[in-house]
Chain A
C-alpha cells in the first residue's frame, strides 16, 4: 500500500455549515463537584482569617516560619512544631497588572486592572507570604519592595476565606511600620 492509502479522509467544513445546522453536534455540560478538605494547617489558617489574624507554622529544625502554614516541613521532612502569629503587613515581592479576567475576558475600558501580587509577610521567613491583590493606589505607583498592609472585610462579613482580606494597600508615608523591609526575628509564639 502507498502512504496515501492510510489517510482516512473526511469532509472539509465551512463556518456556514455549523450555522446552518449541517454539522451534527452533541453537547455535555459536566457536573463535577469537589469539597477539598482543608486539613489541619489550612483549616487553622482560614479560621484565623475570620478573626482578622494571619498565622504561620514554625519548623524548629530549619527555623523557618512558614506561610501559608503547613503541618510538615517539605525540606526537613518532619512534622512542624508550633503555630505563630505574623503581621498583616509586608513587602511586595512581585506583582502584575492584569487587564483580563479569570475567564480570559477583557476588562472593560472603565474597569481598573486587577493587581495580583505576592506579598512577603512581616514575621514570616524570607520569601514567604500571601498571594493576593493590591489596591487603593494607581497601578503605576506600586513597586517591588513597597510596604503594604492588608485591608480586611468587616468582621461580620468574613467567612474564613482568603477573600476575608480584600487587598493589600500601600502603607502611608509617616505611618510606616518600624519593622519595614525583611522581617527580623520571630513574632509572638502561640499555642
Chain B
C-alpha cells in the first residue's frame, strides 16, 4: 500500500509581465522539460498527467484538449482540473494513493497577458442576474471584503501597505519574480484609488509563466531522488458563492482547507510547526486575513506581525519569501504552482539568495480570486 507521496521534480519558466516571444505551448514545454529532467524521468515513463486551466482564461473551448503535446502526454491518461494547481496536486496525490499510478505530472500556466480585457473576464464570474447588472468593478468584491476585514480585525490600510512593501522587496531576491521593487508604505497609499480602501498597489499585477511538477509514490521517489519533498497535508474548501451571504470578515474557506490539511499532516499547533509559508496575497489584506484563517497567528494578530517584522525574511515566520503574488505576479490557475515551487526550492535548500536557513516544513495556500470563496492548502516537508 502507498504510504507517502512526494514531489520529485519541478520546472518553471519563471514569471514575466508579458511573454510575446513564445506561445502557451512553447512556454509550457520549457517548464515540463525542466521538470522531467529535474526528476530524471521521461514523460513516456510517467503514468498520468493533470493540467489545471479554465476555458475562459485560455480563450479556447475545451482547453483541456490542447494540453497533451507540450507536457508529453500524447496518448497517455490525462485530465484537466478547472481549478488551482494545488487542487490539481490533490487529485494527483489521490491517484497515486490508489496504487494504480506511481507517477503523475501536474501542469499550470498563466498567459494572462493574452486576455485583453481581463476586467470584463473577471466580472463575467459574477451572478448574471442579480450581481452583474450593477456593473461594479470585480475589484469591488475585494474592496468590500477588505473593509469588513479591517473592521473586524482592527488592522489598518497602512499595515496592508506594509505587506506590499515586504513582498515586493522579497521579490528583489527572487530571479523568477516579475514585480520586485523597493517602495514605501506611502507609495502604496498614494497609488491610484481603485475600490477603497484598495489602492492600485494593493492589487497583484498579473504575470505569465508555467510550472510543472512530478509526483511519485514513496518507493519511486526514493529511487529517483535524494531529497524527495513529501506531501504531508492537503485540504480544500469552498464557501457559498453568494455575495449576500458569505462571511466577509473571516476567510472561512482557508480556515477549513487548513484544518483538513493539518488533520492529514497530524499538525496540532501550526504556528509552532510551520517554518515558513507562501500564502495568497493577491490583494494586500488577503495575506493578513489568510494568516489568521490558517491559524499561523491569533485572530487580529496578523497586523502586529507585519508591523513587527515577524513575517519578514529574517522574522520568526517568514511569509511570501518568493515575493508572493504582489511581487511575483498574479498567475491565475498557476498561483498555487509558484507557491509549491518556492516550497520545494526552500526545502531542498536551492533557494539561492532568498534561502531561509534550517527549514523543514512549509505551507502553501491559494485562493481562487474574486469573486470566489475557494481555497486550497498544501503542507510539504523534507523529512
Q: Which residues of A contact B (CB under 8 A)?
A: 26, 28, 30-42, 70-72, 74-75, 77-78
Interface contact A39-B114, CB-CB below 8 Å: no
Contacts of A36 in B (CB 8 A): 23-24, 59, 111, 114
Interface contact B33-A32, CB-CB below 8 Å: no
B117-125, B281-289, B291-299, B345-353: which lies at the interface: B117-125
Question: What mask results when residues 12 to 32 of chain B are scored 1 for a CB within 8 Å of chain A, else 0?
Answer: 000000011111111101001
Interface contact A37-B111, CB-CB below 8 Å: yes
A31: nearest chain-B partner, CB-CB: B120
Contacts of B25 in A (CB 8 A): 39, 70, 72
Interface contact B22-A32, CB-CB below 8 Å: no
Which of B26, B72, B132, B133 contacts A39, CB < 8 Å? B26
Interface contact B26-A40, CB-CB below 8 Å: yes
B13 to chain A, nearest CB (A): 12
Contacts of B19 in A (CB 8 A): 37
Contacts of B69 in A (CB 8 A): 70, 72, 74
Main secondary structure of the interface of A (DSSP, over half): loop
Cα A75 to Cα B68 in complex, Å, equals: 10
Interface contact B132-A72, CB-CB below 8 Å: no
Contacts of B132 in A (CB 8 A): 28
Q: B43 near A: Cβ within 8 Å?
A: yes
Between A and B, 12 residue pairs with Cβ closer than 8 Å are A26-B128, A33-B116, A34-B114, A34-B115, A35-B116, A36-B24, A37-B24, A39-B21, A72-B25, A72-B70, A74-B72, A77-B43
B183 to chain A, nearest CB (A): 30
Q: A74-B69, A75-B74 are in contact. Are A32 and B129 (CB under 8 A)?
A: no
Interface contact B117-A33, CB-CB below 8 Å: yes
Interface contact A40-B124, CB-CB below 8 Å: no
B285 to chain A, nearest CB (A): 29
Interface contact B114-A71, CB-CB below 8 Å: no
Interface residues of B in 103-153 (CB under 8 A from A): 111, 113-117, 120-121, 124, 128-129, 132-133
The tally of CB-CB contacts under 8 A between chains A and B is 79
Q: B313 near A: Cβ within 8 Å?
A: no
A71: nearest chain-B partner, CB-CB: B26
Q: B304 near A: Cβ within 8 Å?
A: no
Cα A176 to Cα B383 in complex, Å, equals: 69
Cα A42 to Cα B116 in complex, Å, equals: 20
Q: Top 4 nearest A-B pairs by Cβ distance?
A: A39-B23, A34-B59, A33-B116, A74-B69
Contacts of A32 in B (CB 8 A): 56, 59, 115, 117, 120-121, 124
A31 to chain B, nearest CB (A): 5
Contacts of B117 in A (CB 8 A): 31-33
Interface residues of B in 19-51 (CB under 8 A from A): 19-27, 29, 32-33, 36, 42-44
Contacts of A37 in B (CB 8 A): 19-24, 111, 113-114
Question: What mask results when residues 322 to 366 of chain B are scored 1 for a CB within 8 Å of chain A, else 0?
Answer: 000000000000000000000000000000000000000000000
Interface contact B29-A72, CB-CB below 8 Å: yes
Contacts of B70 in A (CB 8 A): 72, 74
A30: nearest chain-B partner, CB-CB: B124
Interface contact B120-A35, CB-CB below 8 Å: no
Cα A30 to Cα B120 in complex, Å, equals: 8
Q: A26-B133, A32-B59 are in contact. Are A77 and B26 (CB under 8 A)?
A: no
B42: nearest chain-A partner, CB-CB: A77
B320 to chain A, nearest CB (A): 29
Which of A34, A39, A75 contacts B22, CB < 8 Å? A39
B33: nearest chain-A partner, CB-CB: A77
Cα A74 to Cα B25 in complex, Å, equals: 11
Contacts of B44 in A (CB 8 A): 77
